[in-house]
Amino acid sequence: MTLVKIAYASNTGNTEGISEHLEEAFEALEMEVVREIADDIDEDFFEDADIAVVATFTDGDGELPTDFEEFYEDIEEVDLSGKVFGVVGSGDSELYADYFCEAANMFEQMLVKTGAKKGAETLKIENDADDDDIEAIKAFAKQLVEATN
Ligand SMILES: Cc1cc2nc3c(=O)[nH]c(=O)nc-3n(C[C@H](O)[C@H](O)[C@H](O)COP(=O)(O)O)c2cc1C
């Protein structure tokens, strides 16, 4: 069975909600899913995954959430070749136009360095997920699963 692991960080709940939609979308595709908050994981989290998903909001002026900083730095040393990855960002393009979902961009670049294959374009969501975003999350999950074949 294909194992999907989702790591997320969330301050005010938007990205947590997104991570729940991701979990449901992968479960609907009959994947086994493990979803963990950034605080509870270390850099070996994705080592047994077939699909690695990061869901992150952006803090400061284009900064990673504090909870993800250590994981982000440590994952650079991890070999995730043979796995598929995808990143979902939550941000605010009106208040932070110059840095919209910058943390998601940073994770995408970092995960490329691990040797994992990008299975779908990074999905950027305006704050919390609306109905259209939920459909986009389903399509994103489907693409990642197809990329493992
Ligand atoms: C202090 C602060 C800084 C932020 N900086 C950015 C930013 O640089 N880029 C961006 O796209 N969104 C930024 N945002 C918006 C949040 O990323 C966005 O509201 C997100 O949905 C919060 O996710 P959460 O509810 O999971 O914590 C910022 C929000 C706050 C409160």
**pLDDT attached to residue 54:** 99
The rounded Å distance from CA 93 to ligand 1 centre is 9
**pLDDT attached to residue 57:** 98
pLDDT per residue over 10-19, tens digit each?
Answer: 999 999 999 9
**pLDDT attached to residue 149:** 85
Give residue 66's region: left, alpha or beta (phi > 0; psi -120 to 50): alpha
Task: Name the residue with the closest Cα to ligand 1, atom 28.
Answer: 59
Position 1 pLDDT exceeds 90: no
Cβ atoms within 10 A of the Cβ of 124, count?
18
Task: Name the residue with the closest Cα to ligand 1, atom 29.
Answer: 59
**pLDDT attached to residue 64:** 98
Q: Which of 63, 90, 105 to mutate to test the pocket of ligand 1 (most atoms within 8 A of CB)?
A: 90
Point out the ligand 1 atom lying closest to the alpha carbon of residue 11: 27
CA–CA dist 16, 26 (Å, integer): 15
pLDDT per residue over 56-70, tens digit each?
Answer: 999 999 999 999 999
Superfamily name and number for 3-147: Flavodoxin domain (3.40.50.360)
Point out the ligand 1 atom lying closest to the alpha carbon of residue 16: 26
pTM over 0.85: yes
Q: Where are the domains of the chain?
A: 3-147
pLDDT per residue over 83-135, tens digit each?
Answer: 999 999 999 999 999 999 999 999 999 999 999 999 999 999 999 999 999 99
Q: Which residues line ligand 1 (CB under 6 A)?
A: 10-16, 57-62, 90-92, 96, 99-102, 127
